[in-house]
Structures are given as C-alpha cells and as structure tokens.
Copies of this chain bind each other. A is one copy, B any other.
C-alpha cells in the first residue's frame, strides 16, 4: 500500500496505478507500468513494471514521472463477457466519487473505478439484465469536498444524458454530503421528469459486508423501471440486506456516521422500497415520470450560510456574514424556531442583529435543529418577534435543504421572488401536514 505522501506524489504527477509512465532519476530513464506497492516496510517505493517483465522500485522522492499512456485500470482486473441488451431501458450511470462502484485494493492503496460496463458487469452481473447502461466518470471528489460547482456539473451532465436518451439516471457519490447534493439536484433537475437516483456505500466495495452492490442494483432498478419523476437517494433501508428505500432528495438526511441504513426520510415516508429482484413497492405520493425534458436550472449563490442558534451563542455571527457580503442565512433555531432573545447577557438577543441584516437586504430563513417536526412562528411571543423582524419560517423543511434551496433560489431568481418562494413548496421539500408515523422512521 502506498503511503499518503507517495499517493500525493502520484496524484500531483497525474498518474495512476496501471498507467504507462516514464521515470527519470539519477542514472535512470525507464518506461513501464506503475504497479501496486506491496511492500510491508517501505510504502514510499514507486513500483514500475518494465516491458521486459522486471520490476524496479524507487523512492518517490528521488524520481520524476510523466505519463506516457493511460492504463486500462487496475492491472489484471477482470472483465465480463456479458453483452449489453439494447432492448432494456437506457440508464446512465454518472460516477462522481465515493467508494461505491470502485474497487479499492487495500494492499496498494490504489482505487480503481469500475467505469466501463464490462468491468462493472463482472462485479455485478445482475446489472446486465436490468438496463442498457452507459457510464462515465464525471470526476472523483470526496464527499467533504463537494461544493455547488460539482452539483452544477452533475446537473448539466444529467440533462445531457437525458437528452441523449437516458430514461433514468444513477449518480454514485460520496455519502457524507449526499443529502445536500440530493436537495440541490432536486431543485436543479426539477424539470427533468425522470428518476434521478443518488447512491453510494457506507462500506467500500471490497469488503464482504459492503452495501455497494445491493445499493447499485436497487438504484438501477429504480432508474430503469420506476415511474417516479423525482430526484432521490437509494440506500439500505435496514441493516439487513433485504431492501433499499428511495427517499425524496429534499427529505433525506444522513443520520448515522457508519451504519448501512444511515439515510432516513425526515418528516416524510420513503417514496418506495425496492429489493434486489426489482420489486418496487410505492410508499408515498410522488411526481410521475414524463417525456417532457426541461432545462437544468443550475444557478447557485455561494454567499449563503447555515447558522446554528444555541445557548450562549453570539449574535455577532449575523454581522460576520453580513460584512462578508452574504445574501442569505438559514438559522437552525431551537424548538419551534427560536434564537436567544434575552438582553441580560453580553451574548444576548439575536433580534437586533437579525433586524439589521434584514434591513440591509439579507434573507433570513428559520428551521429547527430538532430536525423532525416543523417550525411555527405563532405559538410564542419571541417567535412572533422574529417573524415581525422579517424572518421567514420554513415550515417542516430540513435545515440542510433550506440552506441549499436558498442558495439555489438566489442563484436563479430575483431577491423578492427568492424570499417569497423560500417557504413555498416546490419539489416536495415542504409538506402541509406531517403524519404520525414519520418520526424516527
């Protein structure tokens, strides 16, 4: 397994395990293929397989490498003989990073994306019988490094694939911020009218307990067979490998740092359950698939922030964002949507700062850090004071979804329209009435 530093070196040289490269160093000038490092003791050694069959090992600090030719991936990775069936629904797979659909070699530290259908079919032969698959790696970015720019790229790619004939789209993506991406794509792709299924894995594909393959199979089934015209997340619905659920993109949240069934619907039921035989059980109302192809609406205002209010929290945080030119804030308030309002303490009432910011043109929306339930601006006086100051109460919307929605609104609408639309339902992000059984589902 290569050391972090050696991997950095390969990355900065833009070469990967499997690539043909030229390596130069003192008294050395060779061509060959980069191999996995299987050294137990020295993980800084770059291993190069020469054309004559010999391997050369050299410390990365002492060598320069340049790419001669991209490799075909992990050396010796097997391929399937399964042929694509053109009679099956066209499903487009877009890889954006995350461990799903990738083969990690822990001995080498190398990661190889199973991008080509013939490689994917070797690992997951079931897929060949579900859909006619086209696939490409859009980029490979860690969950924590996803920004609105990647969401925009994914949305544009999805529209392109749709216009090229895709009847359903599966996007593999890192899980930590998948629900932010799903909310963003729900708005950006609201006029695509086909199933857009985000999926990922909590355990990497080379572990026996991986959820990657089942998530992928269920996602392709949803993309190929379901009549849902919405963006959502398809992941394990329980820790047993029996079913996945498809959760509306604006109502999903990663609720556990490591469990396979970490993604849960919040204030909503799953749109559907699906098993690995392709049985789809619908559990909710949803927008139907249609032939209309609208544009991806990808504007996004980056000067929007998510702020949590809590005991002793300083209202100066509002001024901080105001001074940085932020145009919108979503507050994660306590309970029904409170901020501190007391004037007893130095870290006192948020009201004057909120009033000031709204007066200077900032849009401020309120959500609840309880996560479940809805905010309500009318129950208590301190809530009414915030409402009267111009704070927009965002009903039962998730804080993360409200944050993404405000960024998207300000990126595509005039300010007054953005403010007006923030707490109106557009794509299922707000429900008029919560059902009893939607808590801790």
- Chain A contacts to B: CB under 8 angstroms: 4, 7, 141-149, 175-177, 180-181, 239, 254-259, 261-262, 264, 302, 304-314, 316-317, 320, 324, 332-342, 344-347, 368, 370-376, 380-382, 384, 400, 403, 407, 436, 439-441
The CA of A311 and the CA of B258, in the complex, are separated in Å by 20
Query: Which residue of the partner chain, among B254, B302, B317, contacts A335 with CB atoms under 8 Å?
Result: B254
Instruction: Tell me the bound Cα distance from A116 to B312 in angstroms.
Output: 31
Q: A338–B176 contact, CB under 8 A?
A: yes
State how many angstroms separate the Cβ of A155 from the closest Cβ of chain B. 14
CB distance from A383 to the nearest CB of B (A): 9
Given A147-B347, A372-B257: A310 in contact with B306 (beta carbons within 8 A)? yes
Q: Is the CB of B255 within 8 A of A371?
A: yes
* Contact between chains at A255 and B345 (CB < 8 Å): no
Complex Cα–Cα for A439 and B400 (A): 21
Check if A312 sits within 8 Å of B255, measured CB to CB: no
The reply to whether B311 and A256 contact each other, CB–CB distance below 8 Å, is: no
A-B contact pairs, 13 of them (CB 8 A): A4-B384, A141-B342, A142-B341, A143-B338, A145-B341, A255-B440, A257-B372, A257-B375, A305-B314, A310-B400, A320-B320, A371-B371, A440-B440
Question: In the complex, A309→B305 CA distance in Å?
Answer: 10
Q: How far is the CB of A128 from chain B (nearest CB, A)?
A: 32
Given A4-B381, A311-B180, A324-B316, A374-B147 contact (CB < 8 Å): no
Task: Give bound CA distance, A257 to B311, whole Å.
Answer: 17
Given the contacts A145-B342, A258-B373, A314-B324, A334 and B382 also touching, CB distance less than 8 Å? no
Judge whether B148 and A255 touch: CB under 8 Å: no
A377 to chain B, nearest CB (A): 12
Cα A307 to Cα B345 with chains together (Å): 21
A175 and B142 in contact, given A313-B305, A371-B255 (Cβ under 8 angstroms): no
**Known contacts A142-B380, A335-B176, A313 near B306 by CB under 8 Å:** yes
Q: Are A148 and B373 in contact (CB under 8 A)?
A: no
Q: Besides A144-B334, A257-B368, 11 other CB < 8 A contacts?
A: A142-B380, A144-B342, A147-B342, A147-B344, A177-B310, A181-B311, A255-B440, A258-B336, A258-B373, A258-B376, A440-B440
- Residue in B closest to A301 when the chains form the complex, CB atoms: B312
A347–B146 Cα distance when bound, in Å, is: 11
Complex-state Cα separation, A403 to B310, whole angstroms: 10
The listed residue with most B CB atoms (<10 A of its CB), out of A175, A317, A334, A345, is A334
Alpha-carbon distance between A332 and B177 when the two chains are bound, in angstroms: 13
How far apart are the CA atoms of A305 and B320 in the complex, in Å?
14
A144, A302, A308, A338 pick with most chain B CB within 10 angstroms: A144
A72 to B312, CA, bound (A): 34
| Nearest chain B CB to A348 CB, angstrom units | 9
Q: Which residue of B lies closest to A150 (CB)?
A: B311
Q: How far is the CB of A243 from chain B (nearest CB, A)?
A: 16
User: Are A143 and B335 in contact (CB-based, < 8 A)?
Assistant: yes
User: In whole angstroms, how far apart are the Cα atoms of A54 and B306 in the complex?
Assistant: 55
